[in-house]
Amino acid sequence: MKGLMKMKFIVLLVVSTTLALSVMAGVHGIPLDTSDDRVESPLRVNLKRIGTMEPRTIYDVKSSHWTIGCEGLDRDFANFWEYAEFLEPLGIRNVRLQTGWAKTEKTKGVYDFAWLDEIVDFFAKRGYTIMLEPGYGNPLYTTGWDIGTGLPDRGEALAAWDRYVVALVNHYRDRVHEWATWNEASNMWAYDPRMLRLSEQPGETLPDTPGILPFEIATFCKHTANLILKEQPEAKIACLTLGSTASSDEKGIFVEEALRVFGEDAKRYTWIIVHGYKEAPEDAEPGIRKIRQLIERYAPNLRLRQGEQGCPSEWRTGFAMRNKAWSEYSQSKWMMRRMLFDRGLDIPALVFTMSDLHYTAQRKLGSNPKGLLRSNARLETIGVKRVYYAVQNVVSLFDDTLERLPEPLLKTPDRSIRNYTYRKSDGRIVQVFWVWGVELPGFVRAPKAVGKRPGDSFETRPIVLQGSAKAMEDPVWVDLFTGRIYEFPKRNMVADADGVTFMNVPAYDSPCVLTERSVVMNLPKPTRPVGEVFERTRAEIREKARAWKKTSIEAKGDKVLKKTEKNLEI
């Protein structure tokens, strides 16, 4: 008994200490490192270092393949004004926001968009493309306000939802042109074989069926999408958000059922969004290919969009990819691999998420450490993780001035290597590659590989890349983890009539690049240097951050402490 009481005291002490770290908060000056050695790693390669990649802000990355997630603001799981100054230097020009029905309509029929207005206006003023995602429920009409607590799909709840969506779209139609319907709607379906082909029997509900029927979920999403388009005909709509890329029968059946329900209306929509977490991000490919096949069959105008992918920076017993020994090293590798995997499949993709999320919802309690920034239980930014700088490096290089070639110009027979070739308009190539898995021996069939979760090792192994590309005039090898640039020896490059061979190229489980020096060095001077943009925005928002903390954060911290104490009761 004494031991349990002691443990309870220690845990509460830790939580209390975390809540007291306001002196370290973003509004008090967490720096953004712009030095050449902003990221340290144990990597050692036998190459001469000649420089470091220079990150670019949104003012120099004119268009981007990626979206940054600013989730949880609708439920106060994060504080936007604690991290807003870190957004522009990241270089990503698109953003996802959740709209918070319950936070906006606290009295029936009265909508207070002020909290969201400030955030939307921050992005609109800076030229971001904003996607708004209506949801979740509202306790005034439904069972809850967090993910997985039911759809407002009938009766008074549906009528109230319709009024809210109409008000929301009309309020933001001048600033927002991209919309989603409901986050991870497919996760509310608990698979049961008896649910199949229910589109021939609309409204049928089996007495003992768990979850919500696919037909009902798809009908609600279609209803919401059409409601948005009625108010804003030119809007781009993600008509469905899938919580998984699983290639198993039940997920394929759900997508097929939804596409049947959408019918001809699917021609009015733009995307289907897919989530789904895999420890080796490349393992998502079979599910993605299956969903694309169904889209091509039923609604070829729709495009697939990756709407939420992130990785923890430490071990947790809850949330996606739990119970694994993650670190800032493996988080950074995973995030870059996922970004470049999606880019290689031509899928617009989201980086989840800007800041750690701290849950005090109905079903969850605790932190979800998938952020690019580290925050404490009071939602204060207390550090910049390595993954932030890694994402900066990827975004700065792989913008829309690079064209991905259908097949790599430089190839390797090693199936554990994932590689893609990109080309600048003047013909210079960017070859990106990494070790994504473990090659299995082939007997009757050719060798294949299975995905492997990124780890904390920085040991490289030499690979050979060869193909029809031209020899490089001044080749360099780039480690995207640190952004460091190394001279690649010309003696390891052999050109002949068939093309070129690069030998002894270092590779490990983090993306690396082989390209011309001029692609990554001696670039035009930035329009607005990273440090200058960061400090200007920090000065602009400092008072908003302080005001938000004064009204919300203290109550948030007290709530976390009280819930933690309650959960520890014997």
Q: pLDDT for 64-123, tens place per residue?
A: 899 999 999 999 999 999 999 999 999 999 999 999 999 999 999 999 999 999 999 999
pLDDT at 552: 60
Q: What is the pLDDT of residues 258-268, one digit of tens each?
A: 999 999 999 99
Mean pLDDT (whole number) for 7-22: 41
Residue with structure tokens 């409901």?
A: 182
What is the rounded CA–CA span in Å between residue 242 and residue 201?
A: 23
Phi-psi region of 346 (alpha: psi -120 to 50; beta: other; left: phi over 0): left
- Residue 268 · residue 237 · CB < 8 Å: yes
Min mean pLDDT across 18-32, 150-164, 444-458 is at 18-32
Which tokens is 158 given? 């549906």
Q: What is the pLDDT of residues 302-320, one digit of tens each?
A: 999 999 999 999 999 989 9
Percentage of the chain lying above the pLDDT 90 cut: 73
pLDDT at 16: 42
pLDDT at 562: 53
pLDDT at 447: 61
Residue 189 gets which letter from DSSP? B
pLDDT at 251: 56
Neighbouring C-alpha atoms within 13 Å toward the C-beta of 249? 5
Mean pLDDT (whole number) for 48-55: 97
pLDDT at 546: 76
pLDDT at 252: 72
Length of the chain, in residues: 570
What is the rounded CA–CA span in Å between residue 165 and residue 566?
A: 37
- Residue 357 · residue 77 · CB < 8 Å: yes
Alpha-helical segments (H) within 409-529: 517-520
* Prediction pTM value: 0.90
- At 221, is the pLDDT very low, low, confident or very high (cuts 50, 70, 90)? very high
- Residue 89 · residue 32 · CB < 8 Å: yes
What is the rounded CA–CA span in Å between residue 532 and residue 246?
A: 44
- At 191, is the pLDDT very low, low, confident or very high (cuts 50, 70, 90)? very low
pLDDT at 130: 98
What is the rounded CA–CA span in Å between residue 330 and residue 386?
A: 10
User: Across the chain, what does the average pLDDT equal?
Assistant: 87
CA nearest to 510, candidates 440, 461, 448:
461
Neighbouring C-alpha atoms within 13 Å toward the C-beta of 137? 22
pLDDT at 568 over 60: no
Give the E-state strand segments of 158-309 in sequence order.
178-180, 236-242, 271-274, 303-306
CA nearest to 62, candidates 350, 351, 309, 402:
402
pLDDT at 64: 80
pLDDT at 361: 60
pLDDT at 417: 97
Give, to the nearest 10 degrees, the angle between helix 214-231 and helix 155-172: 40
Percentage of the chain lying above the pLDDT 70 cut: 84
- At 12, is the pLDDT very low, low, confident or very high (cuts 50, 70, 90)? very low
